């Protein structure tokens, strides 16, 4: 099998815009999303476009467990300084930096170094660790880059697959780097499933159980599997507690469950979408829905069947794409009690979104009516796979999933496609 590396142009352009800026650049993303690949591609881009020499790069990959175990923050700092050049910018790439104990001391020492000039890039599969620890030390001096699995469009641009064929494969296999590079050969399904099962186990073991020192190893897997089977559904902690204690015979508290769920969100295995309270215009932290960090990992637990939970797979796909576009996403119950799938916030603008496999006259009231009950001037959108309904002139925008994946929520789609 020939593995094809897909160039992550969007992220490379963002990094290039921040090249040599006096900020620590932090790349966070789920394990397998391609953070180290992006840094390697970025290195090649700097060599080609900015004539950066090979000796200006100082790279450490702490996925190497032995290297991580043998490295402390002070020894890492010494090694980097030993390799540093005077009168040149030193590009420091540190992959999975959270594996180094008290790594933040290393970063602040390098950042404040007066002898050498550093352009520092670090990666982590922990969404909170870097920002929270660095925030107190380098307030306003670090720039975060959220890295997401390869998008539908990134894969489509590389492989000659029809939209429908790629759509169904993407719903099942997702966009993690070790998977997406083999999309062209549909005979690889058994291999892809094996790799995804391995990636799921690896992520849970390394990024959850080991990192957070979780004592009940199987509990994390049980919680994730339960959530994955209830994607897009509000799961009260008490309901999950009853399932784990009465059906699976655990003896755990709601506090423990919340701790495990928070860990899964920090490792980006889960994304939590909280409720937006329309009356007070604020996001509530008490209740919400969960989605998978990648559709392939979802399949590793609920099965590699494109017809299983396909409505919620589509909803999960839309959520991941919205996050990759930089939206903050919540969910909403309108004043009449009807649910709106997503409320998206960006640059002080709001967009309301419903997601459905098929929009037709039978589900018009649920999908479109719930949006129309929100009486403000912000755009209201239904994203669909198939549209068969016959209503017109209601002001709600209909966007086909393929157009959304290609163009996001562009002004052209939002204002040209309103019925």
Distance CA 291, CA 222 (A): 15
Query: Is a pLDDT exceeding 60 seen at residue 417?
Result: no
Which pLDDT belongs to residue 276?
Answer: 80
Q: How many residues does the chain have?
A: 419
Which pLDDT belongs to residue 188?
Answer: 82
- Cα dihedral 248, 250, 251, 255 sign: negative
For 185-230, write each residue's pLDDT tens digit.
Answer: 667 889 899 999 999 999 999 888 888 888 887 999 999 999 999 9
User: Phi-psi category of 291—alpha, beta or left, where left has phi over 0 and alpha has psi -120 to 50?
Assistant: beta
Distance CA 376, CA 371 (A): 10
Comparing CA positions, the residue from 46, 59, 58, 44 lying closest to residue 5 is 44
Which pLDDT belongs to residue 338?
Answer: 80
- Cα dihedral 49, 50, 56, 59 sign: negative
Residue 359 has which token pair? 């929009």
- Cα dihedral 152, 157, 158, 162 sign: positive
Query: Is a pLDDT exceeding 80 seen at residue 334?
Result: no
Lowest mean pLDDT across 178-182, 237-241, 342-346: 178-182
Which pLDDT belongs to residue 186?
Answer: 67
Output b/e per residue, 213-228; b: 16+ Cβ within 10 A.
ebebeebbbbbbebbb
Which pLDDT belongs to residue 281?
Answer: 67
Distance CA 338, CA 366 (A): 8
Q: Are 93 and 58 in contact (CB under 8 A)?
A: yes
Three-class HEC string of 84-122: CCCCCEEEEEEECHHHCECHHHHHHHHHCCCCCEEEEEE
Name the percent of the chain lying above pLDDT 70. 94
Which pLDDT belongs to residue 128?
Answer: 77
For 377-409, write each residue's pLDDT tens digit.
Answer: 999 999 999 998 877 778 899 999 999 999 999
Number of H helices, E strands in the chain: 19, 12
For 93-104, write each residue's pLDDT tens digit.
Answer: 999 998 898 898
Q: Are 170 and 152 in contact (CB under 8 A)?
A: yes
Query: Is a pLDDT exceeding 60 seen at residue 419?
Result: no
Query: Is a pLDDT exceeding 50 seen at residue 145?
Result: yes
CA geometry: angle 126, 224, 382, nearest 5 deg: 85
Q: Is residue 386 helix, strand or coil?
A: strand
Distance CA 394, CA 397 (A): 9
Comparing CA positions, the residue from 331, 348, 332, 326 lying closest to residue 409 is 326
Q: Are 27 and 38 in contact (CB under 8 A)?
A: yes
Backbone angles phi, psi at 169, to 5 degrees: -70, -40
Question: Other C-beta atoms within 10 Å of 100: how many?
Answer: 23
pTM: 0.93
For 3-52, write each residue's pLDDT tens digit.
Answer: 678 999 999 999 999 998 889 999 999 999 999 999 999 999 999 999 99
Query: Is a pLDDT exceeding 60 seen at residue 323?
Result: yes
Mean of pLDDT over the chain: 90
Which pLDDT belongs to residue 392?
Answer: 73
């Amino acid at each position: 099998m020939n593995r094809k590396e897909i160039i992550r142009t969007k992220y490379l352009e963002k990094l290039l815009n921040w090249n040599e800026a006096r900020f620590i650049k932090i790349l966070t993303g789920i394990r397998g999303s391609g953070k180290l690949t992006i840094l390697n591609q970025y290195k090649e881009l700097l060599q080609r476009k900015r004539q950066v020499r090979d000796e200006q790069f100082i790279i450490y990959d702490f996925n190497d467990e032995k290297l991580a175990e043998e490295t402390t923050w002070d020894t890492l700092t010494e090694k980097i300084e030993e390799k540093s050049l005077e009168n040149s910018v030193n590009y420091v790439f540190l992959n999975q930096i959270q594996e180094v104990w008290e790594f933040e001391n290393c970063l602040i020492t390098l950042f404040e170094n007066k002898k050498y000039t550093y352009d520092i890039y670090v990666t982590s599969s922990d969404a909170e660790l870097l920002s929270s620890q660095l925030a107190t030390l380098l307030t306003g001096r670090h720039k975060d880059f959220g890295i997401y699995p390869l998008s539908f469009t990134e894969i489509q641009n590389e492989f000659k697959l029809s939209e429908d064929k790629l759509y169904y494969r993407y719903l099942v296999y997702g966009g993690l780097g070790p998977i997406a590079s083999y999309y062209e050969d549909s005979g690889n399904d058994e291999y892809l499933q094996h790799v995804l099962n391995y990636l799921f186990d690896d992520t849970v073991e390394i990024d959850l159980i080991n990192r957070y020192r979780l004592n009940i190893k199987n509990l994390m897997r049980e919680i994730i599997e339960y959530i994955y089977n209830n994607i897009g559904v509000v799961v009260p902690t008490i309901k999950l507690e009853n399932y784990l204690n009465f059906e699976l015979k655990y003896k755990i508290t709601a506090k423990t469950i919340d701790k495990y769920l928070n860990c899964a969100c920090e490792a980006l295995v889960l994304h939590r979408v909280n409720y937006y309270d329309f009356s007070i215009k604020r996001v509530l932290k008490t209740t919400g829905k969960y989605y998978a960090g990648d559709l392939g990992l979802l399949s590793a637990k609920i099965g590699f069947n494109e017809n299983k939970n396909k409505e919620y797979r589509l909803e999960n796909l839309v959520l991941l794409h919205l996050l990759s576009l930089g939206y903050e996403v919540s969910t909403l119950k309108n004043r009449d009690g009807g649910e709106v799938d997503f409320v998206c916030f960006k640059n002080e603008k709001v967009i309301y979104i419903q997601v459905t496999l098929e929009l037709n006259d039978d589900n018009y009231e649920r999908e479109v009516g719930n949006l129309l009950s929100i009486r403000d001037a912000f755009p209201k959108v239904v994203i669909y796979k198939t549209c068969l309904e016959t209503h017109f002139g209601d002001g709600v925008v209909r966007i086909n999933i393929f157009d959304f994946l290609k163009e996001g929520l562009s002004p052209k789609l939002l204002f040209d496609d309103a019925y």
